[in-house]
Amino acid sequence: MEYCNKCGNKLTEKECVNCGISEGMIAYCENCDEFKFPMYNVAVSAVICNPDFSKILLIQQYGRPKNILVAGYVNKGENLEHALIREIKEEVGLDVIDFKFNASSYYEKSNTLICNFIVRAKNENYSLTTEVDTANWFTIEKSKEAIYKGSLAEKFYNLAIEKIQSCYN
């Protein structure tokens, strides 16, 4: 951010200190006397498990033959939990029994903070929408082989599998 979104003045950088802890150099508008914190998109993604946590649902989208996780943007005014349930329903038509936060990561390519959850679906009866090309349930072993290697989806997946295996097996 180079200019203030409120008054249009050129921003400078100033150290931001709260409660004696430095947040580092942050964009600052001298005219408004305000720090201007970075803005980014927010999205959710899901490691979707069947009811007994023995299978993982992976999808392919946009004509790409790579197995990834269900994901989507959080709408303005929407909380993470609602976005998660909405995206799962929109993309694969599944109802959610429960979910637990897994991890988050900033994805620079789209300037997005992605919040990932471990989700337990009510059943395995997914239905595809126009947003998804294919979807398949994989056993834990097969899903390790199938997930898109080197992707953020794989990073979230690996963290989730550790938690699933320690809590549910």
Residuewise pLDDT in 10s, the chain (169 residues): 789 888 999 999 999 998 889 989 999 999 999 999 888 999 999 999 999 999 999 999 999 999 999 999 999 999 999 999 999 999 999 999 999 999 999 999 999 999 999 999 999 999 998 999 999 999 999 999 999 999 999 999 999 999 998 875 5
CA gap 61, 68 in Å, rounded: 8
CA gap 104, 116 in Å, rounded: 6
Beta strands in 30-95 (DSSP E): 34-35, 41-49, 55-60, 70-73
The answer to whether residues 100 and 118 touch, using CB atoms and an 8 Å cutoff, is yes
The answer to whether residues 56 and 137 touch, using CB atoms and an 8 Å cutoff, is yes
pLDDT for position 139:
97
Domains of the chain: 1-38 (no CATH), 41-168 (3.90.79.10)
DSSP state of 63: T
pLDDT for position 169:
53
Task: Give pTM, 2 decimals.
Answer: 0.85
Query: Which two structure tokens, joined as six digits, stand for 86?
Result: 């909405």
pLDDT for position 168:
59
